[in-house]
Amino acid sequence: MAEVVSVRFRTAGKLYYFDPLDFEIKKGDHVIVETARGMEYGTVIGERREVAEENIVRPLKPIIRIATPEDDEKEADNLAVREDAYKICKEKIAKHGLPMKLVEAEYTFDRKKLMFYFTADNRIDFRELVKDLAAVFKTRIELRQIGVRDEIKLLGGVGMCGREFCCHSYLHEFVPVSIKMAKEQNLSLNPANVSGCCGRLMCCLKNEEETYEELNRTMPGVGDNVKTNDGYNGEVVSINVLRQKVRVVIEIKDEKEIREYNASELYFKKNSKKDREVLSEEDRKALELLEKQEREDRMENEREQEEERREMMGDNNSSGGEKKHFDKKKQSQKSFDNQGKKKEKKEWKDDKPDRNKSDNKKKGGNPSQKNGGHYHNNRRESRPRHNGEE
């Protein structure tokens, strides 16, 4: 067991464990910590507590200090400056004519790194954009492509329920959701009614899933044949899961009548295979597409979370299974990374001055060493260039 505190770096962001040392830290305090990407300003979410060793990524990094008033002012200044960075980056994107939508700009606390989050339908060749941004801001630049769920999580908004988005207010990790959850809760299977503003299945379908699963075990389905406690046979026409009420059509003296019963007053054999709602072909295809997108988003989100965890905590080791899965997915896509690697090397080599050819040869002609940048998935980092350096 190890004593830790949970720290969060953005609203509803992922939680990270840090060593509290001898600081008197309480919930809600702001702290300065060191991560793999630089100094960060975070908020303590929980009190000191002990956590099992298997739940901790070693080495456990310590809290550097509790944030001072000067640190609070610097963080507020960073938030103000990033608005200007966002506008400049948007202008540069328009200048280069890149098909990408900029979502947010973010500085690390020490301003040694500036990150831009964007969405795009395909992979983008943004090497020239990175060089322009590095020349303007004189710091390390990172462009990171995110999905539609992450975009909504960063921007926030109000859902159809009238409340703030779950992912932006409290949900620090996306949970798996499916059409089966909507069926369990007896919701309309119209894709427009079960999709959020991001165009994916609503995260809140998971909130009451366990309750509905438990209640549905004692409930018949619509269309099931049942026998009532007063001796009638009938067919279920509607159910109220939360109230445990069932409306049944029974026949009395050649006349049909609808009566309401408690679920405990009925005898039936549950027909789980019977569809509760007849769907049009268009809605069925739309629901199948939603489920497919959900599975793809889940896989991508798991990969991004693991990558973010390694980036924040400086853990470059990953399990063999994860690496194999990532490589397989990477090879199956005809992405910019796979298609343009040889061309990319040639362009960087041609741009390099003749006087540096010998140095380039010694380094193996690796384009990622130029300007201190490197490629990973669809991200590019660049360090600022010094005088006399291309």
CA–CA dist 163, 360 (Å, integer): 57
- Segment 248-259 mean pLDDT: 87
CA 268 to each of CA 107, 241, 251, 263, 306: distance values in angstroms, whole numbers, following the listed order: 62, 16, 17, 10, 47
- Segment 222-233 mean pLDDT: 87
pLDDT classification of 367: cutoffs 50, 70, 90: very low
Report domain extents, the chain. 2-67, 221-268
Length of the chain: 390
Question: What fold characterizes domain 221-268?
Answer: SH3 type barrels. (2.30.30)
- Quick check: 87 and 35 in contact, CB under 8 A? no
Place of tokens 């990622």: 368
Greater model confidence, 181 or 351: 181
Tell me the two tokens of residue 100. Answer: 């990408």
Write the pLDDT tens digit of every residue in 22-60.
888 888 899 999 887 788 999 998 888 888 887 777 778
Write the pLDDT tens digit of every residue in 265-313.
888 877 654 445 556 677 777 777 777 777 777 777 667 666 666 666 6
- Segment 118-124 mean pLDDT: 89
Tell me how far apart the 2 most distant CA atoms of the chain are, in Å.
103
